[in-house]
Structure 1
Amino acid sequence: MTSIATSNGGAAARTARRPTMRARLQQALPKLVLAPSFAITLVFVYGFILWTIYLSFTNSKAFPKYVLTDARAYQRLWRWTFESDPPSSWYTSITNMAIFGVLYVVFALAIGLLLAILLDQKIRGEGILRPIYLYPMALSFIVTGVAWKWFLDPGLGLEQTMHQWGWTSFHFDWIKNKDYVIYTVVIAGVWQASGFVMAMFLAGLRGIDGEIIKASQIDGASPLQLYRRIIIPLLRPVFLSALIVLAHMAIKSYDLVVALTSGGPGGSAWLPSNFMYEYTFKRNEMAVGSASAVIMLATISAIIVPYLYSELREKAR
């Protein structure tokens, strides 16, 4: 009898431990829900990235060719850079990318931090100012580009308004000047991104322990010393996150340039994304366009991968 009871008890315990059909469905449901989006992402993001890399090592023109030809597309890309310098060359695109990327990131970070510090002073009307600063980020780059194109056009916007007010000596024709047109893209981009960066820094400021600030003030730290030596160093994670987001937006910028400058006089405002589109879809140089896209991907990866590595190391400690 004892052995039979023990056997029945063991069978009952195993049955109790065995997951029911409902429990199995509950465990599998999240995977089933995420499976379609995971498959779509796998194919249409990473699959096409691999396809683009493959095409960059072919001699594809208007249509893809699948016969590998070493790195001829990359050789042609950089040969055009060093042997000639037409206004719409790859050299102009990467030069503009350096100018736009540095100025865009630096000014967006500086203005965003300044706005966040001002709002963190608990000023009156903060609830109204926050959405005003954030509003530009809600607009598409097309809308931003068109609005700034009207504003900067010498015959419609700022210059014409100044002339009507009597300041006839005022001239601001950067948007039509091939040497300065890229800076108009910087102005429009900074205007749109600064509010978003402000929101990130404001969240970081509000997350700093107030006891640290009070202790510093008791020790006699001036407001400038407080921000320079304590608060801003504590915002390092926010700086890194904002830097990654801004750098990513700068490298893939395309529609802002098209809407604002239409590529600039003679393509003088081209960025690598504009070069890639032009050579892939208009000049039937798919391999060269793919090579430029791979270089853009490598640039983004060079920024994001070290950041992710540092984050994972900190979490592992």
Structure 2
Amino acid sequence: MAITDSGQMVRGAKRPNRLFKNLTAKIAAIPMIATAVVVFVGCTLWTIYHSFTKSRLLPAPQKWVGTDNYDRLWSENRWITSIENLAIYGACSLVLSLCIGFLLAALLDRKIRFENTIRTIILYPFALSFVVTGLVWQWLLNPDLGIQNVIQNLGWTSFAFDPLNNADIVIYGILIAGIWQGSGFVMVLMLAGMRGIDEDVWKASRVEGIPVWKTYLFIVIPMMRPVFVTALVIISAGIIKVYDLVVAQTSGGPGIASEVPAKYVIDKMFGSQNLGLGFAASTMMLLSVLVVLIPWAYLEFGGKKKK
């Protein structure tokens, strides 16, 4: 039915086909969709397939070896060490980045003086590449030039802080650089979420006499759930693919003490010229990404009730 200018209902009028609704936008999205399907999905399937082959310098689809590459992968001490390092780096980076970023955002949310300047200074490390960040902290953690040397020159001659040359704690030296770079970005996300909260919430908490820390803990944080989920996904994606920071600071050393999965993949594919094993390792990294994305997608879309 359709309604005429006189207000009468006319039968037989067809509704516009939903397929042709926003047709221009749909046509404009075709290149992006094609790229996603062909490049990302296609290359992902191609990689997974060749992880079951004995590909060396070049792909060899006819040399099918089944799960041999995966068996070899999980029997290598280097790969196990890289997984352990990623777990330590990931857990600490997630917790510390979220906590530090939230605390910095809460301080700036109090509308302190020189807020813009302080925010710019804290966010500045995020503008640097991981290579530059790694080189900066390689110098700062150098016992002859950096923090240890400065403190010893101040009189504490027994002070020792050389994590990059200690196999037991080298991953924590890399963690320091990662948190230094990423906390500012998390702070900006959290601050944007806080500034989006209605001012009436703060007025009500002040009227009720609720302390500021309780307001943040029991009111603000639950209201910022989407911001925390977004920050969690972004940080997790960065953790899984961490590579530049390790190469710039330690190149995986001492020995293999600071090895990470992304470096393992690059070394196997281009250093050892073993594409099959490199593809197997990258497939395992893909699974770790899915472990992060699937719960996020469920929380954001699957868990919502239709109104």
Partner of 2:75: 79
Structure 1's unaligned 5+ residue stretches are: 1-13, 19-23
Partner of 2:166: 177
Partner of 2:47: 52
Pairs aligned (count): 291
Partner of 2:204: 215
Quote the Cα distance in structure 2 between the aligned partners of 1:310 and 1:151. Answer: 40
Quote the Cα distance in structure 1 between the aligned partners of 2:25 and 2:211. Answer: 53
Quote the Cα distance in structure 2 between the aligned partners of 1:27 and 1:209. Answer: 34
Partner of 1:203: 192
Quote the Cα distance in structure 1 between the aligned partners of 2:213 and 2:151. Answer: 38
Quote the Cα distance in structure 2 between the aligned partners of 1:234 and 1:36. Answer: 37
Deviation at 1:37, TM superposition (A): 4.1
Quote the Cα distance in structure 1 between the aligned partners of 2:123 and 2:42. Answer: 35
Partner of 2:5: none
Quote the Cα distance in structure 2 between the aligned partners of 1:182 and 1:72. Answer: 30
Quote the Cα distance in structure 2 between the aligned partners of 1:35 and 1:241. Answer: 27
Q: Deviations over 1:261-283 (max 9, x none)?
A: 11121121111111111112112
Q: Match for 1:69 among 65, 70, 73?
A: 65
Partner of 1:143: 132
User: 1:211-250 to 2 correspondence within 5 Å?
Assistant: 211-250=200-239
TM-score normalised to the size of structure 2? 0.88
Percent identity, aligned pairs only, is: 44
Quote the Cα distance in structure 2 between the aligned partners of 1:107 and 1:298. Answer: 24
Quote the Cα distance in structure 2 between the aligned partners of 1:312 and 1:162. Answer: 52
Q: Match for 1:126 among 115, 119, 130?
A: 115
Which has more helix, going by share of residues? 1
Deviation at 1:306, TM superposition (A): 1.7
Structure 2's unaligned 5+ residue stretches are: 1-12
TM-score normalised to the size of structure 1? 0.85
Quote the Cα distance in structure 1 between the aligned partners of 2:212 and 2:27. Answer: 54
Q: Deviations over 1:186-230 (max 9, x none)?
A: 100001110000001101111112212222222221222212211
User: 1:165-314 to 2 correspondence within 5 Å?
Assistant: 165-313=154-302, 314=304
Quote the Cα distance in structure 2 between the aligned partners of 1:316 and 1:272. Answer: 40
Quote the Cα distance in structure 2 between the aligned partners of 1:27 and 1:265. Answer: 57
Q: Which has the larger radius of gyration?
A: 1
Deviation at 1:47, TM superposition (A): 1.7
